[in-house]
Amino acid sequence: MGISLAKGQGISLEKTSPGLTQVRVGLGWDENVGGQDFDLDASAFLLQASGKVKTDAYFVFYNQLKTPEESVVHSGDDLTGGGDGDCEVLMVDLDKVPSDVERIVFTVSIYQGEERRQNFGQVANAYIRLLDDITGWEVARYDLADQASQDTAMVFGELVRARGSWDFRAVGEPQSGNLAGLCARYGVQVI
Averaged pLDDT, 59-75: 96
User: For the segment 140-153, what is each residue's pLDDT rounded down to a tens digit?
Assistant: 999 987 656 788 99
pLDDT at position 116: 85
Give the chain's radius of gyration (CA, Å). Answer: 15
* Maximum alpha-carbon separation in the chain: 48
CATH 3.30.1340.30 for domain 3-186, yes or no, is no
* Burial degree of 16 (CB within 10 A; 0-12, 13-18, 19+): middle
Task: Report which of 105, 110, 94, 127 is spatially closest to residue 37, judged by C-alpha positions.
Answer: 110
pLDDT at position 148: 61
Share of the chain above pLDDT 70, in %: 91
